Structure 1
Amino acid sequence: MDRRDFLRAATATVATGYLVDTGSAAAVAAARPHRLWREYLAAPDHHPRIPNVSYAGYRRGERPLPRPPVRVSVTAFGAVGDGATDCTTAFNAALEAVGRLGGGVVHVPAGEYQLSSVLWVHHSGVVLRGAGRGRTTLRFTQPLAACYRPPARNEWSWSGGLIWFVPRRLREQLEHNDFSGNEGWLENRELASVTAEVPRGSRRVPVSSTEPFEPGRHVLLVADNTTDNTLLAHLAGDVPGTATYAWESAARRLRPELTDWVLAENFHHLRYPVEVAAVERDAVVLAQPTRTDLRAGWRPRFTTLGPVVRESGLEHLTIRMREVPQTAHHLDPGFNGPHFQAALDCWVREVDLWHSDNGFGLTSAKNVTLRDVLVGGRARHHSFICRVQSHDMLVERFAIPRATTPLAPGAVHHGINTEGFSAGNVWADGVMEGTFDSHRALPFDSVRTAVTVANNGATGGAGDAGPRWGARFCHWNIDVLGGRSHGVRLEEHAPYSAMVGVRGTSGPTDHPVDLAGELSTVADSLDERVWPANLHQAQLRHRLR
């Protein structure tokens, strides 16, 4: 289904609460290439304001989403799609069996399947596939707090899912540590150090030894978050305001030596999974450019990636949670949609999710595509969560219809979220309510493009978690319904960023300014339609020629 088909389907279902992009495709097609786009074409990997997000999504957008063959049906393990039989044991047995066989599709025939606990995907290459949205329905009857474990710190308000893609060893560690400490990559044995400083946008990285590397191998690129705050300042574009920002208090959670926050370990380092494209005599060549400088003071190095779920997915079905009243903010019991954790090159395709506390989630994930997805029904906390160094995620052709119930007292709807050193992420071709959320901790290199938003949500994040926005946030061809700028117009807030073709607002966002002084951010062609219409799609086509 292409963009035109998607919007036609949204138009046909306005009565159920979709928002619709009312833009003229002809007007966009007739527009001249925007000047910033022409600048980007001259230096795609080094543009100061527009990040190169053409590497987002499954296999960096270089291959289509796969269609592996069916291996088993859940009915062979005792599942019955009668809407009454508890099928949790059968589903998990099928997922585990296919994983142990090396992967394949677990088919779920048409019907409604009742589930009372988590479905676990611990293996790579495992795909849960229904017979189509509206034909195959998974109905979850209990939240995580009831069926899995009570929340230690209300973590089900921002992590975990009732379909959970996570390596078994990571799950075991999380359970052992009561979901504190490291939430991402494990067993990261050092392979080689980086032997010279490398500027942002480079692919060739000199190393102390090339022996551990081979083309096609995924490794972890690591840089230390040092006490001089220079890495944090760099994620904020090294603008003048980083010299006067109160890092020790306003970003205390990002300073591990100053905080007792149970999740501080996730920010000891910047961690970025990369694939080795080639090995030279004294250097490795990466499959994509670096998103930051690699400076000697941060001790840049490569390590093993550790356990990971890769090439796994979820497709062609509907998920419905038992509809219960929404709770107050941060008290979600965990009626959460699919969650990808320590996952690489995975996907969701044609999945509708109804009545969730939180929708689709990513924690320390990389190159995940969510395509033709919907988060609807009663009011929800987050619709999309991108947290703890999740990189190069692609959400495209997505919908967040107007909630069927009002927000509960004390509740908040955030919308599409990125936070916590996450980079390279894209939301494209969407119709939604909520807002462009950041939960602080310096997310950077993010693009929202070709999105229509009824801007009624709110950004979040703890007051001591650092700036809301790092460098190179780009909002490109955005229609705002209702006139509100909150989270969308960032020209006075996000450093080295670009607000281009944002229509329907009258000024910058209402947030307090984090970084004082010159930000080197532009707002251009406001209340106009610019070309290219979809920035990510244009970047990908240009890179792949």
Structure 2
Amino acid sequence: MIRQVIFISCSLFINTVLAQELPTIITSPKTNYLPDFSYAGYHFGESQIPDANGKIINTIDFGVKANDELDDSKALLKAFKAANAVEGNVILQLPAGRIILSEILYIERSNFVLRGAGSAENGTEIYCPRPMMYLKDSDALAELREYLTTFDKRQRESENNIDLPFSQYAWSGGFIWTQVPGERVKSYLDKYEPESNPLAKVSSGKMGEHSITVSDVKGLKVGDIVELQLFNKDGENGEIIKDLYQGAKVKPGSHHWNFPKLPIVRQQVEITKISGSKITLKTPLTISIKPSYQAQLVEWKHLNEVGIEHLRFTFPDIPRVAHHVEPGNNGIFLTRLFNSWVKDVKITNADSGILAEEVANTTIQDITTDGTHLAHYTVTLGGVHNILVKNLKIYNSAVHPLSFNTFATKNVYQNCEIFKDPVLDQHSGANHQNLFDNITVHFKAGKNNSYAIFGGGGAEYWKPSHAPYSTFWNLNVQVENPDESKPVLLYGMKDGAFARIIGVHGNTKFEIKYDVDPYIEFLNKPIEKIPSLYDYQLNKRMK
């Protein structure tokens, strides 16, 4: 009996010690809400990126000749046309060496892989000698161009004598561009919003859960990938604005109510079960649904199983004029993708390396950006859902090295490292529940032993910088010149609602200033038992 009591006591002691080594937000989840980020990535994180098989179309058979210092654009366009005509899986193979590209290459079909010979020096280099501003305007960006003109979007810097219109390529476009032909990618103007033809009307659902209540169902079936849309039809005091920000002391900007026809929250979802008026979704809701949101499920046209892999982009280091007027040295523009990937890509001297809009459940991994040119973005996530960016290495300076942008939800930057001028940016526009996971940053502390690591970009009309439950997990901060006599102050966020900041640590001690009302735990202590929240949640779900 005594031995049993001792054994039980020891077990309780050990369990208590183990519990103390985990953040309270993990051991007592009902006390403080923590989203489940485990559904991000290719096939909801449940499958590895494949070694794709299919009919191989070799671009050299269409006249592409590496290292001859001649433009390969026309030959590449012919090869793309041939690949698009193939039934079933197709791989468009690029040769090793330098290929010169001065046209946009559109991937417009599913089951398509663009494959190079590797991203290293002896692999495939796509060299773009001039930016997209010299190309014919894309029809897909016509609405954006009208929006920029209508709202007089200009970069104004009086101290630099700059008053210039925004470029259409500041956050859109790329020399490799995925699209569904004729489909609108991003909503900018109410007048182009089509008449609503919902597949179902949605009256209720609870944040973090998978079930929704529907009516007026039209032809939905299990396995469908559709878009869930929530609206603010009630102006500045709309209930959805209050619910989105969970009562945080922030001031939402006018875009939250000036475009009532455009959904303010959206998720691309897979239907796993239909039972009468109840539909079960593969992924959890990011906010609760009420009747006043006039939520609906609508058709979402997209491509599946598209891959871009094993290559590098290089751009000339042209002089930079100003922010938002970039001429369009952009590598990859992903739109309308589901269950797709980009891997093993290096990008040098880009204005923006990889841009994404209207994409879901895609993995972007093993990416490197470098060069002497100041970039706008490296790999940015705007208007996307459940995207996983994994093993991104950033060696160049960028205005927004890592950035969750307008309408971004449930996306993850995992195991990324920023070696120069790091900023963890959340770029306004009702983005919420995104995760910076096991990120490493390097910087030299500034004035007063401080550094503005937490970015809050974006226009005032889309403020605040983010809605609740955006999460920083196990942030490793390496300071070049810390003053050991006092902690380094990490600051920069002025209007981010209810962030979760767990496990900030590094080679010195830190203090954090982050508004508004963050949950902070494990400060100056790494989370050794759970270095990656994404991996932890995925493993737990898969069991």
Q: Under TM normalisation by the shorter chain, which class is it?
A: 0.7 to 0.9
Q: Which residue identity lines up with residue 440 of structure 1 in the other structure? A: S
Superposed CA offset, 1:250-293 (max 9, x none): x1123225xxxxxx96x444221111112223322111111111
Partner of 1:110: 96
Contact 2:170 2:328 in 1 (8 A): yes
1:220 aligned partner: 227
Q: Which amino acid aligns with 2:369?
A: V
In structure 2, list runs of 5 or more residues that go unmatched: 1-17, 139-144, 149-165, 444-451, 480-487
Alignment map for 1:160-309 (pairs within 5 Å) = 160-170=173-183, 181=189, 189-195=197-203, 197-210=204-217, 212-226=219-233, 227=235, 228-236=237-245, 238-241=246-249, 245=251, 247=252, 251-257=253-259, 267-305=262-300, 307-309=301-303
- Following superposition, the deviation at residue 429 of structure 1 comes to 0.6
**Runs of 4+ in structure 1 over 6 Å off:** 182-188
CA distance, structure 1, for counterparts of residue 39 and residue 467 of structure 2: 19
Deviates more, 1:209-218 or 1:285-294: 209-218
* CA–CA separation in structure 2 for the residues paired with 1:537 and 1:199: 25
The alignment status of 1:87 with 2:72, answered yes or no, reads: yes
Give the deviation of 1:67 after TM superposition: 2.1
Secondary structure of 1:279 counterpart: strand
**In structure 2, do the counterparts of structure 1 residues 399 and 283 end up closer, same or farther at CA, with 3 Å as the change threshold?**
same
Q: How does 1:270-349 map to 2 (within 5 A)?
A: 270-305=265-300, 307-349=301-343
User: Is 1:414 matched with 2:400?
Assistant: yes
The alignment status of 1:38 with 2:27, answered yes or no, reads yes
State how far apart, in whole Å, the 1-side matches of 2:195 and 2:323 are.
35
CA contact (8 A) 2:378 2:401 kept: yes
- 2:351 & 2:176 partners in 1: Cα distance? 14
Distance 1:285 1:429 in 2: 32
SS at match of 2:182: helix
SS at match of 1:190: coil
Contact 1:49/1:497, CA 8 A, preserved across alignment:
no
Provide Cα deviations, 1:324-361, integer angstroms capped at 9, x if missing partner: 22331111001012111122222111111111001111
What residue number does 1:477 align with? Answer: 474
1:484 Cα deviation after fit: 5.7
Q: Residue 47 of structure 2 aligns to a residue in which SS? A: coil
Matched, 1:120 2:118: no
**Alpha-carbon distance in 2 for matches of 1:225, 1:211:** 24
The answer to whether the 8 Å contact 2:248/2:497 transfers is no
Tell me if structure 2 keeps the 8 A contact 1:394–1:427.
Answer: yes
The alpha-carbon deviation at position 182 of structure 1 amounts to: 7.9
Using the alignment, how far apart are the partners of 2:191 and 2:427 within structure 1? 17
Whose Rg is larger?
2
Contact map agreement 1:225 1:268 (CA 8 A) in 2: yes
- The correspondence for 1:50, drawn from 18, 30, 34, is 34
Per-residue displacement from partner, 1:31-74 (whole Å, max 9, x unpaired)?
9332222234xx7xxx8432111000111111111222252111
Conserved in 2, the CA contact under 8 Å of 1:337 and 1:353?
A: yes
Q: TM-score, normalised by structure 1?
A: 0.80
2:525 aligned with 1:525: no
Query: CA separation in 1, counterparts of 2:175 and 2:112?
Result: 16
Preserved contact between residue 248 and residue 498 of structure 2 (Cα < 8 Å): no
The alpha-carbon deviation at position 444 of structure 1 amounts to 0.6
Name the residue aligned to 1:363: 357
Secondary structure class of the residue paired with 2:436: strand
Could you tell me which amino acid in structure 1 is paired with residue 178 of structure 2?
F
**Aligned position for 1:409:** none
| Corresponding letter in the other structure for 1:507 | E
Pair 30,108 (structure 1): closer, same or farther in 2 beyond 3 Å: farther
Select 2:391's aligned residue among 387, 390, 397. Answer: 397
Which letter maps to 1:485? L
Distance between the aligned counterparts of 2:320 and 2:57, measured in 1?
37
Q: Does 1:462 align with 2:459?
A: yes
In the superposition, relative to structure 1, how do residues 439 and 240 fare at CA in structure 2: closer, same or farther (>3 Å)? closer
Q: Compared with structure 1, are the counterparts of its residues 124 and 185 closer, same or farther at alpha carbon in structure 2 (3 Å cutoff)?
A: farther
Alpha-carbon distance in 2 for matches of 1:65, 1:452? 24
RMSD: 2.8
Q: Deviations over 1:397-427 (max 9, x none)?
A: 1100144xxxxxxxx6111111212110101
| Alpha-carbon distance, 1:240 to partner | 4.8
Contact 1:120–1:164 (8 Å) recurs in 2: yes
Between the two proteins, what is the percent identity of the paired residues? 22
Q: Which has the higher contact order (CA 8 A, sep 6+)?
A: 1
Structure 2: how far apart are the matches of 1:53 and 1:183?
A: 35
Please give the secondary structure, in 2, of the residue aligned with 1:170.
Answer: coil
Counterpart in the other structure of 1:435? 423
Q: Which amino acid aligns with 1:284?
A: I
Please report the TM-score for the alignment, with normalisation by the length of structure 2. 0.80
The range that moved more, 449-458 or 413-422, is 449-458
1:383, distance to aligned residue in structure 2 (A): 1.2
**Unmatched runs of 5 consecutive residues or more in structure 1:** 1-28, 258-263, 404-411
Asked if the contact 2:35/2:208 (under 8 Å) is kept, the reply is: no
Deviation string 1:67-102 (CA, Å, 9 cap, x unpaired) is 222521111221111251211222233223323324
Secondary structure, in 3 states, of the residue corresponding to 1:273? strand
Q: Give the SS at the match of 2:297.
A: strand
Is the 1:117–1:142 contact (alpha carbons within 8 Å) kept by the matching residues of 2? no
Report what 1:155 is aligned to. Answer: 168
* DSSP-derived class of the 1:169 partner: coil
Aligned position for 2:541:
543
Structure 2: distance between partners of 1:256 and 1:143: 34
Q: Counterpart of 2:242 in structure 1: which amino acid? A: A
Please give the secondary structure, in 2, of the residue aligned with 1:532: coil
